[in-house]
Chains A and B, each alone.
Chain A
Amino acid sequence: SSELTQDPAVSVALGQTVRITCQGDSLRTYYVSWFQQKPGQAPVLVIYGKNSRPSGIPDRFSGSSSGNTASLTITGAQAEDEADYYCNCRDSSGDHVVFGGGTKLTVL
């Protein structure tokens, strides 16, 4: 089992806002990173650090954190945002890295 817990599936209506969460004790200490993965493709980093987006990531993606829970928010979800989303972070020891189990986002 992962030290980072994600809901297995979330759905959102086209154009609406959705929040995907990641829970874990290490999130009280370290920032989380978020990855988007579409079928047959390598993961893509969408959020890292406090709330930074790599070049080319739309600004509808944003990140936040409170206590042991980090959130990825997509404001105005698009059809192309349908994908699996993973969080990662250091583990509670700080010595290793762990991924959450992933959340499958469906855009209705």
Chain B
Amino acid sequence: EVQLVQSGPEVKKPGESLKISCQGSGYTFTNYWIAWVRQMPGKGLEWMGIIYPGDSDTTYSPSFQGQVTISVDKSLNTAYLQWSTLKASDSAMYYCARPSSTPLVYEYEYWGQGTLVTVSS
């Protein structure tokens, strides 16, 4: 069974750093793209970027380029999303997602449970 399990909720202060994770299981982790998707409270889905664990090829949405870093640790079957300096506007639910099959890129059949990030002073 394919599963994406994300790290737990985070409460941070503005200016702090953060790294959240998404661990894949039940499939060959290196063969499928992993995307990160933001959903701000009461708002829609926003595509942040995508990484191919096999070679760490990464593409960011222009809206998120330079704001976050997406990475992967193949040995742990885990993808990461990190911030060096959080802002209150980073408060949102963050999902990781995987396409139905390879080489699909945006047909996200598998989703993590979401990680709620709250940034508040």
Contact = CB atoms under 8 A, between A and B. Distances in A.
Interface of A: 2, 33, 35, 37, 42-45, 48-49, 54, 84, 86, 88-90, 95-102
Given A96-B61, A98-B47, A45 B114 contact: no
10 contacts: A37-B45, A42-B95, A43-B95, A44-B111, A45-B100, A48-B109, A49-B107, A97-B35, A97-B106, A99-B45
Contact of A97 (B50, B111, B113): B50
A45 B44 contact: no
B45 A86 contact: yes
Given A48-B109, A99-B46, A100-B44, 11 more contacts: A37-B45, A42-B114, A43-B45, A43-B111, A44-B111, A45-B109, A88-B45, A88-B47, A95-B59, A96-B62, A97-B105
Interface string B89-118: 000000101001000111111011110000
A44 B100 CA distance: 12
Interface residues of B, number: 23
A101 B59 CA distance: 21
A89 B107 CA distance: 8
Contacts of A54: 100, 109
The 5 closest A-B pairs by CB, nearest first: A48-B107, A42-B111, A102-B44, A99-B45, A97-B106
